[in-house]
Amino acid sequence: MMRMQKEEKVVVVLLLMALGSLAIAFWAFGPEEGASSALSGSTGSIGSAGALAAGTSSTDQTVQGNVLEMKSTKTGGNLILQLNSTAMPIFIPSSAGAEQINNRIQPGDRILVMGKIYDYQGEKELKVSRAGDVREI
């Protein structure tokens, strides 16, 4: 049986470390779109207080409230809104008109938002699919 030389052992360890680093980087910095996946099974509807009510099978949800906070994501040009009526963030992708909504809505505005509930990094969020799904009321 052939034994590995000291240099060969070092190369194997370095290769394993490189692969581990790549795996961690992929997990930590992976694409946002791939991280959001639709919830399986039935989801509830959002009531006026923003709480999830069980029993409905529709994945389309509506919530209304006053805008407390508006944040642009660090990458991708997406927008995240926080309303006073729900703890669930409202995610507006750049492809759904985040810039247009950012120019139209201000903190304090009362809005109606339609979207679908997704699970993102273990937390629920309401994801908007088009700019027309965010309206001032």
Phi (first) and psi of residue 72, to 5 degrees: -90, 145
1 occurs within a structural domain: no
pLDDT, mean over the chain: 80
CATH number of the domain where residue 111 is located: 2.40.50.140
d(CA 90, CA 99): 14
Domain with 125 in it: 37-136
When pLDDT is cut at 50, 70 and 90, the band that residue 36 belongs to is very low
**Neighbour tally for 13: CB within 10 Å:** 10
Has residue 99 been placed in a domain? yes
For range 116-126, the mean pLDDT: 91
Q: What is the pLDDT of residue 30?
A: 65
- Tell me: do 131 and 74 sit in the same domain: yes
Q: What is the DSSP letter of 11?
A: H
Q: What is the pLDDT of residues 38-88, one digit of tens each?
A: 333 333 333 433 333 333 334 789 999 999 999 999 888 999 999 999 999
Residue-level pLDDT at 29:
75
pLDDT value at residue 27? 79
Alpha-carbon distance of 86 to 65, in angstroms, equals 8
pTM above 0.75, yes or no: no
The reply to whether 22 and 71 lie within a common domain is: no
